[in-house]
Amino acid sequence: MDALDTARLGPQLVRALRGRRSQPALSRRLGYGSNVVYMWESGRRDPAGSELFRIVARTGGDPKAAWARFPVDLAEVDLRTPEGVAALIEQLRGAARVVDVAERCGVSRYVASRWLRGRTEPRLSQLLLLIEALTFRLLDFVAALVPPDAVPMLRAPWRELEARRRVAFTHPWSQALLRLIETEDYRALERARPGWIARRLGIRREDEEACLEALQQAGLVRWTGRRWEGEPVAVDTSMASDEERRALKLHWADLGRARIERGAEGYYSWSVFALSREDYERLRAMHVRYMKALRQLVDASAPSEVVAVVNAQLFALEEG
């Protein structure tokens, strides 16, 4: 998937958010005396990043809702302000280095540093660039704000992303393969050998071949002549249907059971308890925070040496 031109994306996103409102009407709702929305949509001006969230709020949306499936906590953050955008960027950044962010964004380390430290508020095109550089999920973010079909330049990339995600459901082990080819051990191979991946993951040779073929067809891996290399694309499955996600949960739950049956190494813990309904809701919130913290730790972890799976479960035993 080619890099998105965020200078073009910004105006199209503003247009999609405006919907049936006229440009002057939205400009007035934002508190402007002039038709500033026309300037934004024509690309003559690039609004501040916080203006995006003001537009979302003024057109009936929730600025924080787009981040519901990202590892950030925006409970005390007002995204409609420069300070709120700075807090968002700080959380998205995690442990990412300034030099790496600068390289991904195609800007100097000085510029990237000022964005990351909240000293300069990025313009809308720059904020979109940062979101992609820090999460590789810009498409998901935009899709949480407006239907992708409402943004002309996103129609084809979104269909491509959806096709890539389908691989995760038709070939559940493909996600483990993607992570394995990122590891130091795999990269150290002078030449990858058929069956090496299968032996490391404990799967059949046929599963390895099927997964690699599906990943290659989806553009998620490519053969360099010596080994497989993955593309820096986040294939996030949280955007899928409940049925699709349920199938994946069953796959990894079944794997955990199989590992327990043969006494494989790992942590398989459980605790049965009784507690108040109020504390049960607190426990649910803790579970969500734990998974978000886990993703942040994994995203910042280097070098890549171990492929692992966390299958955390929390549910009330009293059905209904």
pLDDT at 131 over 90: yes
**SS3 call for 123:** strand
Residue 35: pLDDT band by 50, 70, 90 thresholds? very high
Fold of the 155-230 domain: Arc Repressor Mutant, subunit A (1.10.10)
Question: What local confidence, expressed as pLDDT, does residue 232 receive?
Answer: 64
Q: pLDDT over 90 for what percent of the chain? A: 71
Tell me which DSSP letter residue 48 carries. B
Contacts of 153 (CB under 8 A, 6+ apart): 4, 5, 8, 9, 12
Residue 187: pLDDT band by 50, 70, 90 thresholds? very high
Question: What local confidence, expressed as pLDDT, does residue 234 receive?
Answer: 58
pLDDT at 320 over 80: no
Contact status, residue 158 vs residue 148, Cβ threshold 8 Å: yes
pLDDT at 296 over 80: no
The length of the chain in residues reads 320
Contact status, residue 37 vs residue 7, Cβ threshold 8 Å: no
Residue 238: pLDDT band by 50, 70, 90 thresholds? low
- The one-letter code for the residue type at 209 is E
Phi and psi of 95, rounded to 5°?
-105, 15
pLDDT at 1 over 60: no
Which residue did the predictor score with more confidence, 290 or 71? 290
- Over range 225-236, report the average pLDDT: 79
The three-point CA angle 242-212-266 to 5° equals: 65
Residue 143: pLDDT band by 50, 70, 90 thresholds? very high
What pTM value is reported for the model?
0.71
